[in-house]
Homo-oligomer: A and B are copies of this chain.
């Protein structure tokens, strides 16, 4: 936790918060805070700054907060991700938030096992908690939006073309002829397949919707590695 993310319910006055959960535990046991210390804080979807500890009891910490700096720039990327297996999904979700991805679409694919959609990590409170962990890692405050689309064809035919408008649209597909571009000048949309990749039919459909198929080289990467590799390659100036 490189920053404590603050929510409306934390504020007991316009410039004072009271923390009593995981954040208090972290501030106590890892940062070993005392009254008078300052720690990095940020208001969800707002500024970042410092919180000075004004009161510390067994049950809560009160911080006087001053939020005067903008959070890091969002990444100009719409990411479509074939739903990963649950353990990998949780880590990938945090990584997406840490990297500054604000628009994440979890989509279906032939090689996505049906059981993956049953994971409790997809429920709203778990999604929220893991996005918060990812934001706090990066000292960011802007909450990503996560969209769940369990049917491939309707998504690709009915929604995807509008999502791609004005963006450079790519589908990462090992074996494609074109290498993935580097250092894009503008916003992008990127589709990443499941373990084993999108099927040829799915790649065709994504191409029909406007995506260009690109490869990352000879190596096949797990999704949790492919996301940072691709983001770094597309936007090396923006992290």
Contacts and interface: CB of A to CB of B under 8 A. Distances in A.
Nearest to A217: B239
B98 A219 contact: yes
Most central of A2, A140, A236 by chain B CB within 10 Å = A236
A231 interface: yes
Dominant SS among interface residues on chain A: loop
The bracket for how many chain A residues form the interface is: 20 to 34
A239 B216 contact: yes
Contacts of A81: none
A72 interface: yes
Given A182-B183, A182-B236, A138 B220 contact: yes
Most central of A219, A229, A236 by chain B CB within 10 Å = A219
Contacts of A99: 219, 221, 225, 229
A118 interface: no
A221 B182 contact: no
Interface in A188-204: none
Contacts of A220: 2, 137-139
B239 A95 contact: no
The 4 closest A-B pairs by CB, nearest first: A217-B239, A232-B232, A138-B219, A228-B228
